[in-house]
Structure 1
Amino acid sequence: MTPITQHITPVILCGGSGTRLWPLSRTGFPKQFLCLTGNDSLFQQAAQRLNQLGNAHIQVSPPLIVTGEEHRFLATEQLRETGIELGRALLEPVGRNTAPALTLAALAAMEGGQDPILVVTPADQTVAQPAAFTATMHQAIAQAATGSIVILGITPHHPETGYGYIHAPRHCEERSDAAIRHTIPVQAFVEKPNQATAESYLQQGGYYWNAGMFVLKASVWLQALQQFRPDIAQATQQAWDTRSTDAAFVRPGKAEFTAIPSESIDYAVMEHCPGSTFPIQMVPLDAGWSDLGAWDAVWNVLPKDAQGNAHVGDVLATDSHNTLVHASSRLVSLVGVRDLVVIETPDAVLVVDKNRSQDVKHIVAQLQATKREEQTLHRKVHRPWGWYDSIDEGGRFKVKRILVKPKASLSLQKHHHRAEHWIVVTGTAEITNGDKVLTLTENQSTYIPLGTVHRLSNPGIIPLEIIEVQSGSYLGEDDIVRFEDTYGRQTP
């Protein structure tokens, strides 16, 4: 008998800010978009892992990405770089935790009468052994195809107090079907334990870390949510019914989505499943998983030298042990230190005892309280058309290095409080300056007077790089009036 082809839809939950990985992770460029291990971001790694689940009997659809409005171009551009086609980007106007996010994905997946198996994963995790991950996911998909809810449980290797646990003792009968024999019924979900309790879990066995990865049919999720949290189910349906669509971007109704109760997948549904009409199964995952929740976890997964040092960037060290250094823009040197984390960026430096990595959140709280930009944006800010790097500023001036991608264009705009000088460094610039359109090449320049409507475009096939010098009484990024914009950012 020919096996039935299973249709799966990857769902990548791409929210969160990763505050404990500051100063690399910031609100405007959070953890999931960082390259912390290897050459790909955590989000790109997640997309690639799920895309590789296909085989002769499993058909993988383009992924659904659930993210915030402010990260939509980061997510779509990074996915494009992987060569993976985007299904749709579901844009949350505000954060409402993971239960509404998964509900949006389930509603999108079932459009047109489909009912695929959803393979749900956060975007900010890493897996050292992709082959083991794929084999485990295949087991989970086989079980989910029968209508079960399946969760992946991470086989613990040490007593960990930073994760919730899944209690799934192995006393069930072995399954006859080889494809699903490794699933274990879940008895309970357990909150983050203290150290003594975590140690007892490791000794007893039958306890697994909850990684927030689920496999289930879209219809099963919606049915379970309707049973356990009908308020979330109905409110999310209303937001979905009032959605707007712009190419691959889907925006649920803002007012309706804002009214949805904020709740996690675990609290809304999964913790109610054991003993219910929606029994939940677990598949153990032992594949070198980490959620990289703090800098000590990043140190754990990086290659190290003979002294236990993990260094990225331009770093020199002598008589130093078990350190993590991430140098982004300059030389960092260590002498005679142990167990330190040093994270250097162009506008901020973090130095922390590796054993207190979790406490970085207190620094972020101070940044938030004082409304400092270092909490939200890097000096180098990515935009859908390219990026800009604010390389210098003073009382009435700011200097930016700007890169515009080939065939890309900034918005048609004006400023009330500043004038701008543009100097082309490389490439070709097409510039709208009032009623004139100029074409400038290397070493040529122009001046944009205060209040003049202007636009910068790159008509060429190589990146355009310019130096922009702003001068005026106010140089904030909010002094922009947009008239036309390729990316839907017109000023109301």
Structure 2
Amino acid sequence: MSTLIPCIIAGGAGTRLWPVSREAMPKPFMCLQDGESLLQKTFRRAVGLCDTGQLLTVTQRDVFFRTLDDYRSLNDEDVELDFILEPFGRNTAPAIAAAALHVSRHHGAEAHLLVLPADHLITDLAAFGAAVDAARRLADEGWLVTFGIQPTKAETGFGYIEKGQALNNEGFAVARFVEKPDATTARQYLDGGLHLWNSGMFCMRVDSLLQELKTHAPQLLSAVANCLEQSQIFKGKQELHLELDSRTFAQVPDISIDYALMEHSQKVAVVPCQLGWSDIGSWQAVRELSPGDSNGNQCNGEHVLHDVHNCYIDSPKRLVGGVGLNDLIIIDTPDALLVADGKRSQEVKFIAQALKRQGHDAYRLHRTVTRPWGSYTVLEEGPGFKIKRIVVKPQGALSLQMHQHRSEHWIVLSGTAQVTNGDLEYLLATNESTFIKPGKHHRLVNPGAVDLMMIEVQSGEYVGEDDIVRFADIYGRMPLETDSGSA
């Protein structure tokens, strides 16, 4: 059988899971109760199927280093990590087309491309492996294979796949794809037995996929191929990443693989399966992952409840008291609180969309923001000031930078800081501090073997995160001159 290359597709903001999922820390990084993120669980599934020791991931450049952190903590089998980095989101069709062209070039046109969304949960790994084997056999016959989940309820939040002709006891030709139905239609689909939930997972031989794209979406394929020709490849110790050229990528159509190809091709097959699958698409889906207590409540964090029933409460850092509540979803984070009717959890996306229109930071950022060098947490802010706790990983380095409108006072809490301040370079130990004037070139490096923790006090007429000019950066972020964050 041909070589299998698992490809994890990580995109989208997961707006229905706000305030935990945000643009700069989207749904794939959301941790479940066992402490693993959805991305890490997808990584484990993919690595379990690798027969080449190589894994491809298509994701946005802004979350590349966070993705590496999630992978490296699990990558004890020394899997080669291959990345395609998008400068911005462009939907699934460009991502899959880029993956197919990349795999064809590096692994051959006969390779099997297994496309896995980064933010789904699958609990029956044996059934998943069997479904992939069946899909690969169909793929070798030229089919573009998708995985259809046997429906367990009349779900209106998923698209559906209608089964057509049976194919050698392995699967079915796809008769048609169906948009999310109303409740009556969903009930008919459940009772009729011909329809499956559309999981968004695929297995295809690369040559078959490229031929069908050439037939049904030639402009998209041509635009992606042109973008790849203009893009740069970088090689690290155990990973390779291809950074897509932003100018040519902006010319690629923004369209899903279903609309661009699957709904038009006559070569699409579906493998029905029961995998313990969930797309974790809403807080209602999250609450279904764990049983309730005697009152039907599921609670994470300290709580005191009186006459409260069928509620989902997630507040890991603050005590929650509740009286006389029923069927509510309560999600508390350091800077945002969600209270929603349990039956309307799909509508949480409207809150996230409104925040985005307003340009509110709570759409994009958490109080704690990860960076390639570590993280920062906003402790307090007000007119003309902001206070942060900064943690720099061993050997981590902020960019050489300058701020036009603010000064910064750094106080070391633990570890050692190597500071560049204008023409001066010096070390700071615990309880020592330094002051950076506006307009001064400066840089912070952790030269030690343990985390550097410090407090940063910003003050000035403007303390927005976009007041930053970079002059040098070891993480390749120079093109992003207004990239948010404490550099």
TM-score where L is the length of structure 2: 0.93
Aligned to 1:178: none
* Equivalent in the alignment of 1:139: 134
Q: Does 1:348 align with 2:340?
A: no
Matched, 1:172 2:166: yes
Q: Deviations over 1:113-156 (max 9, x none)?
A: 61310110111111122222222222222322333221100010
Q: CA deviation at 1:337?
A: 1.3
Partner of 1:96: 90
- Tell me, yes or no, if structure 1 residue 148 matches structure 2 residue 140: no
SS in 1 for 2:389: strand
- Whole-angstrom distance in 2 between the partners of 1:99 and 1:479: 35
Q: Output the CA distance in 1 between the equivalents of 2:449 and 2:8.
A: 32
Corresponding position: 1:123 with 2:118: yes
Amino acid at match of 2:68: T
Q: What SS does structure 2 have at the residue aligned with 1:139?
A: helix
How many positions carry a matched residue from both structures?
A: 473
Q: Report the counterpart of residue 265 of structure 1 in structure 2.
A: 257
Answer yes or no: is the 8 Å Cα contact 2:411–2:433 preserved in 1.
Answer: yes
What residue in structure 2 maps to residue 224 of structure 1? 212
For the Cα contact (< 8 Å) 2:138–2:170, is it kept in 1? no
1:330 CA drift (Å): 1.4
Contact 1:98/1:263 (8 A) holds in 2: yes
Residues 143 and 266 of structure 1, relative CA distance in 2, 3 Å threshold = same
Paired with 1:432 and 1:350, the residues of 2 have a C-alpha distance of: 42
Q: Which residue of 2 aligns with 1:19?
A: 15
Residue in structure 2 matched with residue 412 of structure 1 by the alignment: 400
Structure 1 pair 130–453 and aligned structure 2 pair: CA distance change class (3 A): same
One of 368, 385, 390 as aligned partner of 1:380: 368
CA apart distance, 1:218: 1.3
Aligned residue number for residue 110 of structure 1: 104
Cα distance in 1 for residues equivalent to 2:106 and 2:328: 54
Query: Which one is further off, 353-362 or 126-135?
Result: 126-135
Give a deviation string over 1:280-312, Cα, whole Å, max 9, x none. Answer: 221112121111111111111134323222222
Preserved contact between residue 409 and residue 455 of structure 1 (Cα < 8 Å) = yes
Structure 1 residue identity aligned to 2:91: N
Q: Which residue of 2 aligns with 1:63?
A: 55
Find the counterpart in structure 2 of residue 446 from structure 1.
434
Conservation of the 8 A alpha-carbon contact between 2:421 and 2:441 = yes
Match of 1:341, SS state, is: strand
CA separation of 1:39 and 1:60: change in aligned 2, threshold 3 A: farther
Q: Distance in 2 between matches of 1:113 and 1:479?
A: 44
Structure 1 CA distance for aligned equivalents of residues 277 and 32 of structure 2:
14
Q: How does 1:267-416 map to 2 (within 5 A)?
A: 267-273=259-265, 276=266, 279-416=267-404
Cα–Cα, structure 1 residues 280 and 490, in superposed 2: closer, same or farther, change >3 Å? closer
Identity over aligned residues, as a percent? 43
Give the superposition deviation at 1:86: 4.8
Matched residue type, 2:245: G
1:50 aligns with 2:46: yes
SS at match of 1:159: coil
Structure 1 residues 460, 113: closer, same or farther in 2, change over 3 A?
A: closer
Assess if the C-alpha contact under 8 Å between 1:428 and 1:439 holds in 2: yes
Could you tell me which residue of structure 1 aligns to residue 242 of structure 2?
250
Distance (whole Å) between structure 1 residues aligned to residue 171 and residue 330 of structure 2: 42
Q: Is the 8 A contact 1:79 1:86 kept in 2?
A: no
1:182 to 167, 170, 175: 170
State whether residues 324 and 341 of structure 1, in contact with CA within 8 Å, keep that contact through their aligned partners in structure 2. yes
Distance 1:283 1:319 in 2: 46
The 8 Å contact of residues 51 and 60 in structure 1, kept in 2 or not, is answered as: no
Report the residue type matching 2:6 in the other structure.
P
Structure-2 change in CA distance of 1:372 and 1:154 (3 Å): same
1:126–1:292: 8 Å Cα contact kept in structure 2?
yes
Do the aligned partners of residues 450 and 113 (structure 1) sit closer, same or farther apart at CA in structure 2, a change above 3 Å counting? closer
Give CA-to-partner distance per residue, 1:66-90, whole Å, 9 cap, x none.
Answer: 1122222222222222216453221
Q: Is the 8 A contact 1:53 1:138 kept in 2?
A: no
Q: Is the 8 A contact 1:53 1:60 kept in 2?
A: no
Q: TM-score, normalised by structure 1?
A: 0.92
TM-superposed CA distance for 1:360, in Å, is: 1.1
Work out the CA distance in 2 between the residues paired with 1:267 and 1:41.
Answer: 29
In 2 relative to 1, CA 429–260 (structure 1 residues): closer, same or farther, beyond 3 Å?
same
Letter in 2 for 1:36: L
Runs (5+) with no aligned partner, structure 2: 482-487
Q: In 1, are the aligned partners of 2:166 and 2:172 still within 8 Å (CA)? A: yes
- 3-state DSSP class of the match of 1:215? strand
- Could you tell me which residue of structure 1 aligns to residue 68 of structure 2? 76
CA contact (8 A) 1:164 1:191 kept: yes
Query: CA 1:223/1:79 → structure 2, altered by over 3 Å: closer, same or farther?
Result: same
User: 397-406 vs 424-433, which deviates more?
Assistant: 424-433
Deviations 1:46-105 (A, max 9, x none): 111111124xxxx14422111122222222222222216453221222322111110100
Secondary structure of the 1:227 match is helix
Letter in 1 for 2:20: L
User: Aligned partners of 1:441 and 1:85: how far apart in 2?
Assistant: 38
Write the distance in 1 (CA, Å) between the matches of 2:34 and 2:52. Answer: 25
CA RMSD of aligned residues (A): 1.7
Query: 2:145 touches 2:271 (CA, 8 Å); kept in 1?
Result: yes
- C-alpha contact 1:10 1:61 (8 A) present in aligned 2: no
Q: Mean Cα displacement is larger for which, 242-251 or 78-87?
A: 78-87
- Give the distance between the partners of 1:389 and 1:86, measured in 2 at CA: 32
Q: Give, as a single letter, the amino acid of the residue that structure 2 aligns with 1:138.
A: D
**Amino acid of the structure 2 residue aligned with 1:8:** L
Query: Contact 1:10–1:60 (CA<8 Å) still a contact in 2?
Result: no
Supply the distance in 2 between the matched residues of 1:168 and 1:21 (Cα, whole angstroms).
31
Q: Which residue identity lines up with residue 107 of structure 1 in the other structure?
A: L
* Paired residue secondary structure (1:87): strand
SS in 1 for 2:263: helix
1:252 Cα deviation (Å)?
2.4
Q: Is the 8 A contact 2:53 2:80 kept in 1?
A: no
Task: Measure, in 2, the Cα distance between the counterparts of 1:208 and 1:195.
Answer: 15
Quote how far apart the aligned CAs of 1:23 are: 0.6
The equivalent of 2:453 in structure 1 is: 465
Q: Distance in 2 between matches of 1:144 and 1:53?
A: 16
Confirm or deny: 8 A CA contact 2:213 2:261 kept in the other structure. yes
Q: Which amino acid aligns with 2:158?
A: Y
- 1:37: Cα distance to partner? 4.7
